[in-house]
Chains A and B, each alone.
Chain A
């Protein structure tokens, strides 16, 4: 079964550094998402992306965050200047259609640790 793949599985960075989290969504999917889960807390929506632009973003997704689909297969999340509170599990997800009946397929996540 096709999968959403995320790399790296674990990223350790120092506060203030830039990180790029990478995702390869399922190939025929058109809608892409980033979610995060801080340890012990809920899975939280960050941003959705369709047709090469952001379609929705949460209040968490401030100017320090950006997303890009640099080619036909990758979908990246960049954090420009990481803070300690950015430490979390970051999940990429994709879906084939944008309607609510089309479930999101999640990757296994990247654990980001900011020291």
Chain B
């Protein structure tokens, strides 16, 4: 079951530069998307979300872009900081399953000082 895909298992970025994490989905019923960040030995922490009625949502250094026609979303972190180094999970939920999230496999972001 690959309804939510994060094709890059890892990404390295220099401190101060932009980090772009990508996510693709296949289920047309998904209409709400979230990004979670996870540090080792901790649970996922909610970062930012976007509804399918929008194409962009911004919160400080974090911006999520949604391209519904391409079934693609991305998370931009500007500027990247070493403390941003973590695994980032894309997650989606759909009208037919309002209570659960479907997660991608995650992308390990490493921000180099």
Interface size class of B (residues with CB under 8 A): 20 to 34
Grouping DSSP codes into helix (H, G, I), strand (E, B) and loop, the B interface class, with mixed when no group exceeds half, is strand
Interface string of A77-101 (1 = CB under 8 A from B): 0000000000000010100001111
**B34 is an interface residue with CB less than 8 A from chain A:** yes
Closest chain-B Cβ to A109's Cβ sits at a distance in Å of 5
State whether A100 and B43 are in contact (beta carbons under 8 Å apart), knowing that A41-B105, A42-B103, A44-B103 are contacts in the complex: no
Chain A: residues with Cβ within 8 Å of the partner, total of 28
Decide if A103 touches B34 in the complex (CB within 8 Å).
Answer: yes
Decide if B46 touches A43 in the complex (CB within 8 Å).
Answer: no
Decide if B99 touches A48 in the complex (CB within 8 Å).
Answer: yes
Besides A44-B103, A103-B49, A106-B45, 4 other CB < 8 A contacts?
Answer: A50-B99, A91-B43, A104-B46, A108-B42
